[in-house]
Amino acid sequence: MRAGESIESPVLGMRVTWREVGSDVLAFDLLMRAGAPSVPMHVHPQQEERITVLSGSVRSRSGTRDVVLAAGERVVTPPGEPHTIEPAGGNDAEVRAELHPALKYGEFIECSFAQDRGGHLNRKGRANPLRMSTTGSDEAEFFVAGIPVAVQRPLIRALGRLGRRLGYDQP
């Protein structure tokens, strides 16, 4: 990961361009194609996420708020609050995302996108749980909303160990 580099996820219909890569902050531009599978509602227990719309419009669901944001508008999601975004209005959208602290979120994106490019995602953008558990989502602090993190974290770690032994960490 270096500032200026881009990676693609064709099934997810996303492109990430790294802007700032550090331990304190991870910033990237995220292009989301219209009609692509949506990112599931998720939570970052220790990270604040800031999203600023660069082009198009974005539906943002964060906590109890559900709004459509236009270019220049921003949403800040505090640690522990379930959230997601998706393109709105049937058009592509691009946002600048910032996560504080960065933790291992960049590595998680790289692994997830590599799984996609390796042909391991279905049309809905989902992969075999053993394969997904090897992406480092627990270290990235990316957890599905609605299931306690205290349940997900040890389960993901156990499945990740098994998945790596079986070779599911290879794109």
Task: Render pLDDT for 88-128 as a digit per residue (tens, 0 to 9).
Answer: 989 999 999 999 999 999 999 999 999 999 999 888 888 88
For the chain, the distance separating the N- and C-terminal CA atoms, rounded to the nearest angstrom, is: 17
Give the domain ranges of the chain.
6-100, 105-165
Please tell me the distance from the alpha carbon of residue 4 to that of residue 27, in angstroms, as a whole number.
Answer: 11
Q: 136's torsion region: left (phi>0), alpha (psi -120 to 50) or beta?
A: left
Q: What is the DSSP letter of 64?
A: T
Per-residue pLDDT for 17 more than 80? yes
Domain 6-100: give its CATH code.
2.60.120.10
What per-residue confidence (pLDDT) applies to 100? Answer: 95
In this prediction, residues 38-46 reach a mean pLDDT of: 91
What per-residue confidence (pLDDT) applies to 36? Answer: 84
Tokens describing residue 31? 């292009």
* DSSP-H helix ranges across the chain: 105-117, 129-132, 137-140, 149-165
| pTM for the whole structure | 0.90
What per-residue confidence (pLDDT) applies to 70? Answer: 96
Tokens describing residue 130? 């053993």
Average pLDDT, the chain: 92
Phi, psi angle pair for 77, to nearest 5°: -110, 120
Tokens describing residue 49? 């996420």
What per-residue confidence (pLDDT) applies to 161? Answer: 94
